Amino acid sequence: MSLRKRAARRLKDQGINDRSARSSFYLLAVAGGIVVLLLAGLIIYNGAYRERIYAGVRVITPPTTIDVGGKTRVAATAALKPFATREGARIVTLLVAGTVAQRQRARDLGYSVDASLTAWRCSTVGRTGSLPERISGQLSALATGAEVSVAQRVDRNTLDGYLSKLARILNRRPRPGSPGRTLDIAASRASIIFGLLHDATGFTIHLPFHRVPALPLHRPRAQTHRHAARPIR
- Condensed to tens digits (0 to 9), the pLDDT of residues 110-133 reads 999 999 999 999 999 999 999 889
What is the torsion angle, in degrees rounded to the nearest 10, for the CA atoms of residue 28, residue 32, residue 34 and residue 36?
-170
Please give the average per-residue pLDDT across 21-35, as a whole number.
73
Work out the percent of the chain whose per-residue pLDDT is above 90. 64
Work out the percent of the chain whose per-residue pLDDT is above 70. 82
CATH number of the 57-212 domain: 3.10.20
Please give the average per-residue pLDDT across 180-208, as a whole number.
95
- Condensed to tens digits (0 to 9), the pLDDT of residues 56-74 reads 999 999 889 999 999 999 9
Go through the chain and tell me how many residues it has: 233
The reported pLDDT for the residue numbered 223 is: 56
The reported pLDDT for the residue numbered 194 is: 96
The reported pLDDT for the residue numbered 204 is: 95
Residue 32 binned pLDDT confidence (cut-offs 50, 70, 90): confident
Residue 44 binned pLDDT confidence (cut-offs 50, 70, 90): confident
The reported pLDDT for the residue numbered 1 is: 55
The reported pLDDT for the residue numbered 5 is: 59
- Condensed to tens digits (0 to 9), the pLDDT of residues 201-214 reads 899 999 999 999 99
Domain edges within the chain:
1-48, 57-212
Helices (H), 89-203: 115-123, 131-144, 156-170, 185-198
E strands in 57-145: 57-61, 64-67, 91-96, 99-105, 111-113
∠ Cα 182 184 186 (to 5°): 150
- Across the chain, what does the average pLDDT equal? 86
* Closest by CA position to 162, among listed 182, 188, 180, 181: 188
Residue 231, pLDDT > 60, answer: no
Asked if residue 82 has a cis previous peptide bond (ω within 30° of 0), the answer is no
- The whole model's pTM is what? 0.74
